[in-house]
Structure 1
């Protein structure tokens, strides 16, 4: 019998028990309904009819009194209606005899009704003959004039007798209803207890059956699980002892075959695996740069000697989370992002350089993390390489120092030249010819361009050296972007270009140096203006993205050829054929400022359709740690 059949039989038994219990309960409910209907049909109808007769009888008494007062014709009409009503109710009672005492009471009502009717008819006939008697004196004479012979008073006696008969009929049926209700309550209690016992028996039987089936199904699985645990723990001789012929037995047989195959592979490939492992570890240990190997959960599994100089001995760190041993949170963030996205992560730019102590001195490292996968693409872990770029940083520092020194030394003679040109243009040394004026104007423009170049070089060298670190303060992103954009509106529109700024007021507060970010926007808008023909447009937008505000400057200009996009942020890069007006430092300065703010700047462009530069600013309250950029 297979596992499916066992489970199906168990479920069918439970369903059958539920059906039996439901049928039993439904049958008892129907019986209780029948009892309730009998009470209503047998006694309640008689009570209602008796009350109707009593009300009709009261109205007949009032009608006789009405006739006594002289209103004979209306009284006769009303009396005929009430007698019909009384007789209709009486007929219902006579046709619904359910109690032993009812026949005698009904016979008494019939007899007393006929007597009362006869007395009333005689009284009314007498009144009709006399028509009207006017009282002439007080007291007994007045009463005798209205009721000669005292017939009305005798009618009251017959009326009370008939009412007493009706009261007896109501009491008999009410007592019967109470007795039947108590009997029905007793039956209901007895049926409730019987149903409760029956349901309890089904529950106990079902629980026993469930335990039996569960044990038959789970016991082989438990034994198979114990065998699998033994195999996982290194007991390659473990074998599942399951004799059932269902799916569990088939699974156990397959597991035993797999275990045998593993034993064979272990005996044949163990040596090769050991050699491969030793070769891999030797290759990692021989690397000059620090290497951290982590498993799929972020736990450290390997540190090469270069990494041990930074993070400590490998034996002390094996199994620890990488965030626990890393001296910089960006390492743990890079590993976490690589494991979650299963894509390489690499830090780019000055802001992503790690400063770590190795061998007693501080070194600069560039972070690169790559996921590890097996032949089937399953994630095994991650490899983190810390590329030592200390020598490159030193070369870059020397270059920046040289540029800063050269710019500073050139600034004084350049200032003298600018002043001299200005004096000559003001004709302080004498009148100038038109040709001389043109030459001096060109010279002044070149001096201004040279001064801007030196100023940009000095600013860039200070930013790269960290001398002009941004003063990060909470800034309203919407106000910052609107103010920076509106400052260019006159200049942009004077060239025939449309400028639009879209910065919603609900943008969050960002951490930024207002002056530096305004310079970034100024550089991007200036570039867009130089490359956009009249009739074009420049669009500045800002949106929130996962803890950052992304600011974009898009134009409908000439665009950037694809081969220049990777190097567009390098120093002195200029696209051939682009309008002149800059030295190629504006984008480099913008990139350095954005990265110093903990953000990123990217470019998208299509030749002939325009260019879009986008940079990000961190929202206040977000983590100040810099997330590594994806490769």
Structure 2
């Protein structure tokens, strides 16, 4: 018999017995409740009315209250006739009572009335006894049938409790033990179940699987060795250094290129802990540092590693690749090792150096003739040297604007080349926030006036001195104000504010222009990036240079924007330990 059928029959039978037991209980409880209600509602009320009439007779019906009590009780009794003969007795009582009212001194009528009341009470007491016997019989039947049903349910449940768990658990236990043997690579293990249920089918499938695994174990070992040799040969012939570690950080392979640049021998590293090798090898120590100190890998910006290789200084980018797998039969991912990969980027680095030198040279060479052209245009516009007509004046103004724009571009390119080459040096000094803001206002006031934009300042009194490179920080704030003017509408305003928060001084520049779409916010500081569809002039270098200038000082620039309503740029500088300055703009 199938296990599913066994469970269905056993649980189904138990369910039917429970339903039957419940139905019997409800039926007999309702029947007992009905019998009790019949006694309480009909017979008990009649006895109560009769008792009230006896009290009225005993107290004397000549009194108004007693007469009223008797009349009220006999009227209720006339509406509560439930037994055979009770109506005739009630009518007789009513007739005798009417005669008694007319002749209250007649003792014979009084005695007859009392007898009538006693007969009614006797009739109802007999009815109560009869109905009580019926209720007792119902209770006995209910106890019998409920006990019988409960006993059958208990027997069925007991049989299932004794047999069913074992019939399911024992095959599962045997199958689990066999699976553990298979997991331990004992592929000769077999399972034997008799019968034709699901466990027998499962045992047959399991035995088939074990036979195939045993066959694969014998036939594929040489293939696995060939594949291992193939992978080792491939790794050894790669030109990028590769180091493989197991989960305990022991070296399991190191290709020839890695051995060459580290100056190590294969037999000296295989199977050794990488941290033990790092004690005597500076390069290995540098490569594995972030594997043991998480804070270093999170805080330090990754830089190319300079290594002497191929007869020259070479640059490599390091990548530590964790190897994680989900073992067969498990659900949780497990780390089984790491691979340290060094990618040789020397050719790209050389091209980058060449590009930086080219940009620096071109920017420097263009700056002098452009300044000369700007000066010549200014002299042409000087009326002391002669007057020019309107068309000539327009041409001179166009030349001045173009040279100014070209000078700004060459200046940004020159700053970019200095940043890339690392030749720029910061001069961190104590300086006033008011001086930094004043420089940005003076540089951009003319441009703001041309667009009729109001520069609103919010500067508290007695701001402290800050530690910063005054020249470059002033350039950063000026560039942020210039961008705000460029992307603001005419006849609008720009808010420039400074405030002290704990040991930092925050600078804010807020405009109410077009804003920045959310999908471009994370790219706004990328080099040469310009928001698509924007017609404003610019190289896309300004914000990138601003970001690098501030990061070089240990700060950064934050941006927030509500697209269509404007943007806010901010940066912070550390407060100097000296006393507060007391001047303001």
TM-score for the superposition, normalised by structure 2: 0.54
Equivalent residues of 2:20, 2:149 under 8 A apart? no
- Once superposed, what is the RMSD of the aligned Cα atoms? 6.9
* 1:424 equivalent among 355, 365, 379: 379
Structure 1 residues 156 and 451, CA gap change in structure 2 (3 angstroms): farther
Q: Distance in 2 between matches of 1:37 and 1:466?
A: 107
Q: Distance in 2 between matches of 1:269 and 1:391?
A: 43
d(CA) in 1 for partners of 2:220, 2:128: 93
2:220 match: secondary structure = helix
The farther-off stretch of 168-177 and 18-27 is 168-177
Mark the CA change 1:218 to 1:110 in structure 2 (over 3 Å): closer, same or farther: same
Distance 2:242 2:126 in 1: 99
Partner of 2:291: 326
Distance 1:325 1:598, change over 3 A: same
SS of 2:317's partner is strand
**Correspondent of 2:216 among 265, 270, 279:** 265
- Provide closer, same or farther for how the CA distance between residues 594 and 368 of structure 1 changes in structure 2, counting only shifts above 3 A: farther
In structure 2, distance between residues paired with 1:518 and 1:181? 106
What displacement does 1:279 show?
1.9
Over 3 Å counting, the alpha-carbon distance change for 1:525 and 1:284 in structure 2 is farther
Paired with 2:476 and 2:58, the residues of 1 have a C-alpha distance of 105
Deviation at 1:240, TM superposition (A): 1.5
| Count of aligned positions | 468
Which residue does the alignment assign to 2:83? 96
CA contact (8 A) 1:50 1:170 kept: yes
Contact kept, 8 Å, 2:319 with 2:342, in 1: the verdict is yes
Q: Could you tell me how far apart the structure 1 residues matched to 2:289 and 2:146 are?
A: 64
Conserved 8 A contact 2:46-2:77: no
Q: What's 1:19 paired with?
A: 19
Q: Distance in 2 between matches of 1:62 and 1:418?
A: 141
Report the alpha carbon displacement of residue 459 of structure 1 after superposing the two structures with TM. 3.7
In 1, Cα distance between equivalents of 2:51 and 2:419? 107
Distance 1:117 1:570, change over 3 A: closer
Q: Distance in 1 between matches of 2:97 and 2:175?
A: 98
Corresponding residue number in structure 2 for 1:305: 254
Q: Which residue of 2 aligns with 1:484?
A: none
* Structure ranking higher on relative contact order (CA contacts 8 Å, 6+ apart): 1
**Alpha-carbon distance in structure 2 between the residues aligned to 1:116 and 1:580:** 118
Output aligned runs, 1:533-612, within 5 Å.
Answer: 539-541=514-516, 550=521, 581-583=537-539, 585=541, 589=545
Q: Does 1:202 align with 2:150?
A: no
Match of 2:101 in 1: 120
| CA apart distance, 1:452 | 0.9
- Structure 2 equivalent of residue 456 of structure 1: 412
**Which sections of structure 2, spanning at least 5 residues, go unmatched?**
276-287, 429-443, 453-472, 490-512, 560-566, 571-585
Give 1:416 shift.
6.8
Cα distance in 2 for residues equivalent to 1:528 and 1:371: 51
Query: For the residues of structure 2 that align with 1:525 and 1:224, how far apart are their CA atoms?
Result: 77
Q: Give the deviation of 1:54 after TM superposition.
A: 7.3
Residue by residue, what CA displacement relative to the aligned partner does 1:328-350 show, whole Å, maximum 9, x if unpaired? 769999xxxxxxxxxxxxxxxxx
Structure 2 CA distance for aligned equivalents of residues 358 and 184 of structure 1: 104
Q: Within 5 A, what are the aligned runs for 1:273-284? A: 273-284=224-235
Preserved contact between residue 291 and residue 386 of structure 1 (Cα < 8 Å): yes
1:391 maps to: 346
Rounded to whole Å, the distance in 1 between the matches of 2:162 and 2:424 is 77
Q: Distance in 2 between matches of 1:46 and 1:398?
A: 118
- Partners in 1 of 2:347 and 2:249 — Cα distance? 29
Equivalent pair of 2:367/2:410 in contact (CA under 8 Å): no
**Residues 253, 270 of structure 2: 8 Å contact kept:** no
The answer on whether the counterparts of 1:64 and 1:120 sit within 8 Å (CA) in structure 2 is no
Which of 361, 365, 368 in structure 1 is aligned with 2:317? 365
CA contact (8 A) 1:230 1:238 kept: yes
Partner of 1:218: 169
For the residue of structure 2 that corresponds to 1:365, the secondary structure is strand
| 8 Å contact from structure 1 (residues 53, 89) kept in 2 | no
Give the secondary-structure state (helix, strand or coil) at the position aligned to 1:540: coil
Residue-by-residue CA offset, 1:599-621 (whole Å, 9 max, x unaligned) = 999xxxxxxxxxxxx9x99xxxx
Compared CA separation, residues 386 and 457, structure 1 to 2 (3 A)? farther
Contact 1:403–1:458 (Cα < 8 Å) also in 2: no
SS at match of 1:326: helix
Q: Among residues 191, 206, 211, which one is paired with 1:255 in the alignment?
A: 206
Q: CA deviation at 1:406?
A: 4.7
Query: Does the aligned pair in 2 maintain the 1:52–1:89 contact within 8 Å?
Result: no
> Could you tell me how far apart the structure 2 residues matched to 1:173 and 1:397 are?
118
How much has 1:249 moved relative to structure 2? 1.1
1:72-100 deviations in whole A, cap 9, x for unaligned? xxxxxx99xx96x76654556775379xx
Shift of 1:386: 3.7
1:50–1:89 Cα contact (<8 Å) kept: no
| Deviation sequence 1:313-337 (CA, Å, 0-9, x none) | 866589xxxx99735769999xxxx
CA deviations 1:371-411 (Å, max 9, x no partner) are 9999xxx9999986644356368547745874796589669
Q: Tell me how far apart the structure 2 counterparts of residues 258 and 23 of structure 1 sit (CA, whole Å).
A: 52
TM-score, reference length from structure 1: 0.51
Question: Using a 3 Å threshold, how does the CA distance of structure 1 residues 551 and 161 change in structure 2: closer, same or farther?
Answer: farther
Alignment of 1:162-173 (within 5 A): none
| Matched residue, 1:37 | 37
1:227 aligns to 2:178 (yes or no): yes
Q: 1:599 to 1:324 in 2, by over 3 A?
A: farther
> Does the 8 Å contact 1:363/1:390 carry over to 2?
yes
- Offset of residue 522 of structure 1: 7.0
8 Å CA contact 1:49–1:92 kept in 2: the answer is no
> Structure 1 residue 238 and structure 2 residue 189: aligned?
yes
Q: Secondary structure at the match of 1:15?
A: helix
Distance change >3 Å, CA 287–CA 65, structure 1 → 2: closer
